[in-house]
Amino acid sequence: MTLLIVHDNDEDCRFISKVFLTYFGRAVDSVRSVNQALLQFDASVHDLVIMDNFTSGITGAELAHIIRLRSPSTRVVCYSAEPPKNRTAFDLVIEKSELQPLLKDGLKNLLASPRPNALPQFGLWAVSPNCEGRSLKQV
């Protein structure tokens, strides 16, 4: 079973995300602060980190960079109402306005692909609206 760590300053959002991901068979640790995320993160246990772009003290991209330094193979997802303009720090970026099923499908695709061994091998996924609805594409 894949263990995810979810960081979001908003307690309601963090709780809903944990319940949603647990419902789909994922074990989830959730934390409310950057310090908790960094203290609890264990590369041998956590396959994926989901975070908001806005964290207390540092940006989501900065937190993603720290996670990458500790474990280059750990997937990092930004799930934010205001995603960063520069998305290179993340494997997947999803706007909170997107539907929860898109989060589920995006994570399923991300976790189904081989884990990278080094920083240069990271791919970037983008979620963007189109005329017929929402779409997920690898860029």
- The reported pTM is 0.66
pLDDT digits (tens, 9 = 90+) for 101-131: 666 777 778 888 877 664 443 444 444 443 3
CB 78 within 8 A of CB 60: yes
How high is the pLDDT of residue 35? 85
For residues 41-62, average pLDDT? 85
Does residue 2 or residue 110 have the better pLDDT?
A: 110
pLDDT band for position 133 (cuts 50, 70, 90): very low
To the nearest whole number, what is the mean pLDDT of the chain?
Answer: 75
pLDDT band for position 132 (cuts 50, 70, 90): very low
Delineate the domains of the chain, giving CATH numbers in brackets: 3-138 (3.40.50.2300)
Longest dimension (CA), the chain: 42
Query: In percent, how much of the chain has pLDDT > 70?
Result: 75
How high is the pLDDT of residue 67? 92
CB 2 within 8 A of CB 48: yes
